[in-house]
Structure 1
Amino acid sequence: MNLLTRGLKTMDLLTELRPEQMTLAAGAVWLPGFALPQAEALCAYLQQHFVPHPPQQMMTPMGYPMSVRTSSMGDRGWVGSAQGYGYSAVEPSSGRPWPPIPPLILTLAHDAALKAGYAGFVPDSCLINVYAPGNKMGLHQDKDEQDFSQPIVSVSLGIPATFLFGGARRSDKAVKVPLQHGDVVVWGGASRRFYHGIATIAANQHPQAGAQRINLTLRKAT
């Protein structure tokens, strides 16, 4: 199903339909519930990961702490500081290498990318964003990577969120996608550097993730 050609614009319609697959833009696909079979195992794994690698507030280049807390896995972890955004092989707070991405997550990312039309995706970075109610993420581009030929795979866990998927310019109108626990969004190709963000998270509770939304963003950073 193609969101653009069918003219579906309201959150109510998107929430009600929840098809197996929906095109958001050229190269961008929403896969509702794709990660549900692995969701319980993912939440359990993340609980273990957060013990030695707790989510922390990174800094913006303006020197302000981000409201969203982050952790990472893989050869490179995404970091933010007063010097800018980018990737690091070590955790800033400890100086230790990030732990490897487990097979469970690598397989999920590969399969979701393949479902969206991208074969052979092997990410080397998994950013873990933890949103509390009241948090949001402004419209931005993922442009700190070296390889833009590879897609981005985003996995949602926990309480619902409204994903904003715009265009090549910040001023382009964004589609509002009502993401739920287990949803996956994949984008690459023509939309690889499209602006996107998360609207303010409403208070809610999830039986596995608690009062938070956890998002896994898998990329090929190097």
Structure 2
Amino acid sequence: MGTVAIVDYGVGNLKSVANALSYLGCSSCITADPAELERADAIILPGVGAFPDAADRLRSGGLDQHVLAQGQKKPVLGICLGMQLLLEQGREVRPCPGLGVIRGTVDRIPTQSKLPHIGWNSLRFFHHSPLFRGLDEGAYVYFVHSFSAQDTDPAQVIAVTDYGSAVTAAVSSGNFYGTQFHPEKSGEVGLTILRNFAGLNC
């Protein structure tokens, strides 16, 4: 495994991700330095909070453009809010543009079930993905969210879960990957996903 850069833009669950990578024996750095992003073998974009605040912080200093540029040549994984930022637009609080890597919008989960959605749910795999190598259909992962990717391109959706309605659980396009769930909090299944991701470019 090479080095994974964890993007620090002020809204991420950084330490948990770094700790999970360390457990796997993978070198990582928490950084907002474009030079570190350039040197890394892969990049993780974490996120906790509201879409517009996160998007504004990511754009501060041009980090959004650096992430997009690096994603042309190495794997990038968005986790939770980080995945949502990969989409074209968020509608939480106010309409706000995302990175536009994945088609669709981010809006409140269309469900009668209690929000936020907190807990373990099983995955249904839509398309083959190297992220899920070694995992069985129905593997359980941990979610914490009230908003989800909607109006997506089915070709970019690699896994879904059910929470009163079908919810996009993971996406991919080129070198960009996203998980709505938290692999760093998802036990052995999550560690397998992070191991698979860290090995994509190594």
The normalised TM-score by structure 2 is 0.29
The normalised TM-score by structure 1 is 0.27
Instruction: Identify which of structures 1 and 2 has the higher relative contact order when contacts are C-alpha pairs closer than 8 Å and 6+ apart.
Output: 1
Give 1 or 2: higher helix fraction.
Answer: 2
